[in-house]
Structure 1
Amino acid sequence: MTSPPRKRGPTLRILIFAVLTCASLGVNSRADENDWFVYLGTKEAKQAPRKNINAAEALPPLPLPATPLRRTERKKPPQPDCLVGKVIWGQSASFVDTTGDKLEIADWNLCPTDAEKFVETARALDLQYHWQNTNLNSFHFDPEQLPALLFSGVRTLKLSDSHIQSLRDYVLSGGMIICDSIAGSPYFYDSAKKIFLRAFPESRFRVIAADHPLYHIIVDIDKVTCLGGKGQTEPFLEGIYVGSRVGVLVSKFGLGCGWNRNTERLKDLRDAAYYDVKSANDIGADLAAYIVGYAEVGLVEGRPEVFGLADQARPTDEFVFAQIKHDGLWNVHPGAATALLTKLRRYTSVRVNLKRVGVDVAQDDLSSYPFLYLTGLDDFSFSPQEISTLKQYLTSGGLLLINNGLGLGTFDAAVRREIKKVLPGITLEPVPAGHNLHRGIFDTSVVQYTPSLVKSKSELGGQPYLLGVMINGDLRVIYSPYDLEAGWLEVQYPQMRGYESISAQRLGMNIVIYMMTH
């Protein structure tokens, strides 16, 4: 006889519910974006700024027994230039915290003093700047007046199409945008990247390399402490480049509370990931100096390249600067080639076309270009078709000049790898200082390097360091492992590993003359 089924008691039903609940959480364990929307600042009262009161001339003597008084007036100190604008966006709300205090919070300002403390760090470096809150509806979008904008938050960043277009124009003109996912929120991080990929559909975010100036301009940052699971690790920042400059920077892990020197509230926030106070402030110091140091770079590289009518159509009897487009950052120093060729026109009677031509190696006919130029900042690779075409080009008498933008290690490694694919069994060898290349218009057997390169490679001395590949007795590949092109623009690139401007220009003109005569 079959016994009747047993009824499930309340304990079993509770257990089943608990298991199902845990399973549900396991499938979707990411906290809702509103769970991140909490106040992350401190309750410290902000001190009023100190007032400068200077004594003026004494009043005329008063009848005794009155005491003579001195007239005083508050003098407003000169306003320093503004370094960064903290962008107002999103929604606001009020709540009562565990101590009973009512707090106002807003998407853009969860840590109200982060920008203020960031600028204080800059002032400690003798960078006398201040900050402001910025409403995009009334913003001028002029990087000469305000070089950087800061977006901070935890929830999904939303901007109008018109603001996205204006921000694109701002960056292309020389401005910098910083996005801080202040608690390591995936909602803000993902949405910020999506918005700026919409603004720059021709670009992609790239991880900032460990030897990039952004990590060494003031403080050498090799390791950082990321709380919330990462521990001791390399810094992780991503950027969209405009020329050689980071135009949009996104931090996946929180910086702002570290700038504020108080990360206590983040400890209670589920899944928070953020830099500790020291790491955040080291990054902040370098970032502040980078904004200042590369502001002029942004303005110069952001200028449109202007050509005369004669340069629009390429004459066959003039030298043409043909630059290879590849899958990495191929346009490192916009305007530099034109600047060099303009000087070549001035110093010689050589006929040159000032309009640089971008070349697709896999599709374009290279036979009309006796010279090709290749540069970059990060990793790149040639397709099988490009490898075959370049090999044919070089073995048929073409010449390739390669420049390592900013002198970074990632591009250097990529160049050496790809050249081995194009020319198997052939290695890059130093070009002697006595080579004819250095005896063109100028004597470039002695050169000057930038301070950062001298510091890291003192063994270079004053001799030029170029590598080359000989094919059938002729120099067909010239590679500069240290940035040559940056010096053509006559602008300072802090922490750039390369040639000083005069040496870069003279060596560049010598190389062009060599390529035209060999």
Structure 2
Amino acid sequence: MKRIIYVLCFFILVLNWSANAQEIAILKYQGGGDWYANPTALPNLITYCNNNIDTTINSKPETVEVGSSSIFQYPFLHMTGHGNVVFSDQEIENLKNYLLSGGFLHIDDNYGMKPYITREIKKLFPNTELEELGAEHQIFKNTYSFPKGLPKIHEHDGQRPQAFAISKNNRIVLLFTSESDLGDGWEDPSVHNDPAEVREKALQMGANIITYAFKN
């Protein structure tokens, strides 16, 4: 039965993506975490990608809820926040079907999200561990080169930046970036007053993620 559901979801994705081949949505979740954090981040990343890597993404990303069938309209979902995240059983099933049918989810920890989101990821894929990506992975070199792997954008706990992934059929379906805070680097310059070179690194890494999601 589950196989039939996955097949149906796959065809829904194909039909929707033919009209939304390069679209991104913000994932709204329950639990109290601020899913709406960094409001200028994704529009700025989209503008950067459209100007530099020939994407044609809508400059105003939509917001979709985890349990909604609307997520199947978007090949790329972005999720961020600082606090608690809770997925219901129905949301787990919906998001899992989306990911196994070809969708891509990027979760960027805006600081304080990690213990909650890793718990929910374990519910999504109880038999699959998050795997840290080495600096040699193609996501760090497909468009812009990051020979040391995920760049450090903002300091929080003084820990090194890490990129973790869940892969299915040799393709990343879920990417979790931690201790980097890419989203802060994508925000308007006036928000965090980051140096231009730091914002550029964040935007370039974001472009690499989008390149990977759209081409794999």
May I ask how many residue pairs the two structures share in their alignment? 193
Q: CA deviation digits over 1:157-213, x for unaligned, max 9?
A: xxxxxxxxxxxxxxxxxxxxxxxxxxxxxxxxxxxxxxxxxxxxxxxxxxxxxxxxx
Structure with more contact order per residue of length (Cα contacts < 8 Å, sep ≥ 6): 2
Aligned to 2:209: 511
Runs of 4+ in 1 over 4 A off after TM superposition: none
Gaps of at least 5 residues in structure 1 are 1-313
Counterpart check, 1:456 vs 2:140: no
Once the 2 structures are TM-superposed, how far is the Cα of residue 315 of structure 1 from its aligned partner?
Answer: 9.1
Report which of the two has the higher share of helix.
2
Aligned to 1:330: 35
Q: Which amino acid aligns with 2:201?
A: S
Aligned to 2:11: none
- CA change 1:383–1:445 in 2 (3 A) is same
Aligned to 2:145: 443
Q: Which amino acid aligns with 1:441?
A: T
What CA distance in whole angstroms lies between the structure 1 residues aligned with 2:138 and 2:191? 30
Gaps of at least 5 residues in structure 2 are 1-16
- CA change 1:391–1:432 in 2 (3 A) is same
Once the 2 structures are TM-superposed, how far is the Cα of residue 335 of structure 1 from its aligned partner?
Answer: 1.6
Once the 2 structures are TM-superposed, how far is the Cα of residue 450 of structure 1 from its aligned partner?
Answer: 4.4
Once the 2 structures are TM-superposed, how far is the Cα of residue 366 of structure 1 from its aligned partner?
Answer: 2.7
What CA distance in whole angstroms lies between the structure 2 residues aligned with 1:448 and 1:372? 21
What CA distance in whole angstroms lies between the structure 1 residues aligned with 2:44 and 2:191? 15
Aligned to 1:412: 114
The structure 1 residue matched to 2:98, chosen from 382, 387, 393, is 393
- CA change 1:329–1:500 in 2 (3 A) is same
The structure 1 residue matched to 2:132, chosen from 402, 406, 430, is 430
What CA distance in whole angstroms lies between the structure 1 residues aligned with 2:153 and 2:141? 22
- CA change 1:448–1:423 in 2 (3 A) is closer
- CA change 1:361–1:448 in 2 (3 A) is closer
- CA change 1:516–1:421 in 2 (3 A) is same
Once the 2 structures are TM-superposed, how far is the Cα of residue 504 of structure 1 from its aligned partner?
Answer: 1.0
Q: Which amino acid aligns with 1:508?
A: G
Aligned to 2:171: 474
SS at match of 1:415: helix
The structure 2 residue matched to 1:320, chosen from 13, 18, 23, is 23
Alignment of 1:84-483 (within 5 A): 316-327=19-30, 328-405=33-110, 407-408=111-112, 411-446=113-148, 448-450=151-153, 452-453=155-156, 456-457=158-159, 460=160, 465-482=162-179, 483=181
User: Does structure 1 conserve the Cα–Cα contact (< 8 Å) formed by 2:142 and 2:212?
Assistant: yes
Q: CA deviation digits over 1:422-445, x for unaligned, max 9?
A: 111211111111111112221122
SS at match of 2:120: helix
Larger radius of gyration: 1
SS at match of 1:323: strand
What CA distance in whole angstroms lies between the structure 1 residues aligned with 2:209 and 2:54? 16
What CA distance in whole angstroms lies between the structure 2 residues aligned with 1:319 and 1:429? 27
- CA change 1:315–1:486 in 2 (3 A) is farther
- CA change 1:394–1:318 in 2 (3 A) is closer
Identity, % of aligned pairs?
A: 27
SS at match of 1:445: coil
What CA distance in whole angstroms lies between the structure 2 residues aligned with 1:330 and 1:451? 19
SS at match of 1:425: coil
User: Does structure 2 conserve the Cα–Cα contact (< 8 Å) formed by 1:318 and 1:353?
Assistant: no
- CA change 1:436–1:384 in 2 (3 A) is same
- CA change 1:492–1:353 in 2 (3 A) is closer
- CA change 1:445–1:491 in 2 (3 A) is farther
- Give the alignment's TM-score, normalised by structure 1: 0.35
- Give the alignment's TM-score, normalised by structure 2: 0.81
- CA change 1:493–1:393 in 2 (3 A) is same
User: Does structure 1 conserve the Cα–Cα contact (< 8 Å) formed by 2:65 and 2:71?
Assistant: no
User: Does structure 2 conserve the Cα–Cα contact (< 8 Å) formed by 1:320 and 1:355?
Assistant: no
